[in-house]
């Protein structure tokens, strides 16, 4: 079942474009424009943005249509947890594939359903999740009973989905993320934002899973031996902000911890360009985009040996045990104390980041859409 002109009709949830561009938003932003340029596809975006249909339309690249009616998100998700209705075609018209890139895919009359699972924190570490996120398992399981296919961003998550959700292997497809090279920034601007020429950079939402309070504690352990180095933490406020602020207050060297909050793409690029090293102490990840971004900018990376991170960074980073302050402090010191080690990591990281491409991600997604068209 395809459009009369032979194109595959794909309905895609584009609401992540309106959120702060963290992992899921970055994934949708980087792929939707590329998919729109694929002559074999006809894309229609749906969703329930707070600003209404106009807000969604303004966020879309050329070549993507919007659903004909707005959607009331929370009531629909509540309904979809109990019944397989109403179907997405009520908003989009007939489509071949409906793709939910953020853990939730609507039911469909005839279209094949595809849902992207970025990680399974909600099953592995529910204590690290918000109330909204805790709804995902019931929605996922209902979609799986309808025959939905799963897209994962790493082989690690693919195996987790197969093991924890009992999905047949053939219905779980791994297509890795790409990496967005840092552009539009300068090291000089990064030093100005950090108010330091030597700084450890952390990027990400302040939430328990990122374990940024532990990074503050690890930095505090080594700061006395590196009096010219500061810690810079940039990213939006999340539900772990109070714990982070408490960690800063406890730190002996709290005056050398710089909290910048959300930053623009240009400032993000500048902070990466000017960083001495990049720290990512996450307790669990399905992929880990920020370490890859740092590598593409030529910055040495210290991160945790957990989840999909190991798969993504390979041997191009200093890997430490998660939830281990001493190990994290030692990893930071390895890079700060050894210029040759830092140089080696820069070279390895640049080479590793080159393995990942958003063009390839979008191309493989388009191939998957074509494969799934008509298989409902």
**Predicted confidence (pLDDT) per residue in 25-57, tens digit:** 999 999 999 999 999 999 999 987 655 667 788
What's the mean pLDDT in 310-326? 97
pLDDT at site 49: 62
Cβ-based neighbours of 75, under 8 Å, separated by 6 or more: none
Question: Does residue 331 register a pLDDT over 90?
Answer: yes
Instruction: State the pLDDT confidence band at 128, using cuts at 50, 70 and 90.
Output: confident
User: Six-digit token pair at 123?
Assistant: 């099953």
- The per-residue pLDDT for 1 is 46
Contact indicator for 309, 282 with CB cutoff of 8 Å:
yes
pLDDT of res. 111:
97
Residue 374: predicted pLDDT = 72
CA-closest candidate to residue 16, choices 56, 53, 61, 58: 56
Tokens representing 114 are 């595809």
Mean pLDDT score across all residues of the chain: 93
pLDDT-above-90 percentage for the chain = 80
Instruction: Examine the pLDDT at 77 and tell me if it is beyond 90.
Output: no
- Residues with Cβ within 8 Å of 264's Cβ and at least 6 positions away in sequence, in order, are none
Convert the pLDDT of each residue in 225-260 to its tens digit: 999 999 999 999 888 899 999 999 999 999 999 999
Does this model's pTM top 0.85? My answer is yes
Asked whether residue 90 carries a pLDDT value surpassing 60, the answer given is yes
What's the pLDDT tens digit per position in 258-283?
999 899 989 999 999 999 999 999 99
Question: What pLDDT, in 10s, does the model give residues 175-208?
Answer: 999 998 887 889 999 999 999 999 999 998 899 9
* pLDDT for position 51: 57
For the stretch 82-103, what's the b/e string if a residue is b when 16 or more beta carbons lie within 10 angstroms of its beta carbon? Answer: eeeeeebbebbeebbbbbbbbb
Record the tokens describing residue 331, joined without a space: 């990893």
How many CA atoms within 13 Å lie on the side-chain side of 314?
14
Beta pairing class for 64-66 and 97-100: unpaired
Structural domains in the chain, CATH included, are 8-178+357-372 (3.40.50.2000), 187-353 (3.40.50.2000)
Query: 323 is written with which tokens?
Result: 């939830």
Indicate whether 3 pLDDT > 80.
Answer: no
pLDDT beyond 60 at 4: no
Output the CA angle 106-153-376, nearest 5 degrees. 35
Cross-strand pairs, 10 = 43, 97
Provide the pLDDT confidence category of residue 20 given band limits of 50, 70 and 90: low
CA pair distance 275, 115, nearest whole angstrom? 36
What pLDDT, on a 0 to 100 scale, did the predictor assign at position 53? 63
Q: How confident is the model at residue 129 (pLDDT cuts 50, 70, 90)?
A: confident
For the segment 52-76, the average pLDDT, to the nearest whole number, is 83
Q: What does the pLDDT look like over 147-176, one tens digit per residue?
A: 999 999 999 999 999 999 999 999 999 999
């Amino acid at each position: 079942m395809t459009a009369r002109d032979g194109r595959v009709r794909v309905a895609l949830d584009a609401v992540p474009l309106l959120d702060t561009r963290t992992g899921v938003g970055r994934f949708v932003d980087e792929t939707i424009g590329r998919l729109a340029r694929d002559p074999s596809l006809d894309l229609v975006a749906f969703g329930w943005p707070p600003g209404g249909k106009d807000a969604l339309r303004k966020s879309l690249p050329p070549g993507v249509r919007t659903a004909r009616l707005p959607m009331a998100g929370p009531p629909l998700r509540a309904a979809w947890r109990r019944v397989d209705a109403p179907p997405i075609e009520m908003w989009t018209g007939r489509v071949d594939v409906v793709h939910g890139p953020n853990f939730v895919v609507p039911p469909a009359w005839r279209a094949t359903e595809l849902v992207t699972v970025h990680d399974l924190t909600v099953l592995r570490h529910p204590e690290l999740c918000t109330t909204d996120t805790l709804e995902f398992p019931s929605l996922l399981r209902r979609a799986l009973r309808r025959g939905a296919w799963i897209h994962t961003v790493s082989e690690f998550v693919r195996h987790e989905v197969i093991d924890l959700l009992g999905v047949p292997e053939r219905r779980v497809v791994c297509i890795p993320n790409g990496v967005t090279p840092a552009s539009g920034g300068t090291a000089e601007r990064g030093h100005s934002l950090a108010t330091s020429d030597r700084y450890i950079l952390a990027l990400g939402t302040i939430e328990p899973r990122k374990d940024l309070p532990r990074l503050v504690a690890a930095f505090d352990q080594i700061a006395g031996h590196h009096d010219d180095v500061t810690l810079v933490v940039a990213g939006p406020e999340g539900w772990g902000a109070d714990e982070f602020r408490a960690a800063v207050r406890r730190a002996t060297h709290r005056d050398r911890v710089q909290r910048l909050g959300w930053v623009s793409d240009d400032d993000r690029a500048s902070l990466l360009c000017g960083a001495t090293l990049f720290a990512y102490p996450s307790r669990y990840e399905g992929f880990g985009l920020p370490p890859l971004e740092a590598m593409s900018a030529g910055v040495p990376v210290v991160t945790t040996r957990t989840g999909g991170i190991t798969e993504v960074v390979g041997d191009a980073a200093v890997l430490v045990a998660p939830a281990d302050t001493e190990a994290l402090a030692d990893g930071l010191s390895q890079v700060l104390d050894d210029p040759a080690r830092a140089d080696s990591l820069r070279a390895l990281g640049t080479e590793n980041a080159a393995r990942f491409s958003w063009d390839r991600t979008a191309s493989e997604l388009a191939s998957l859409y074509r494969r799934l068209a008509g298989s409902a």
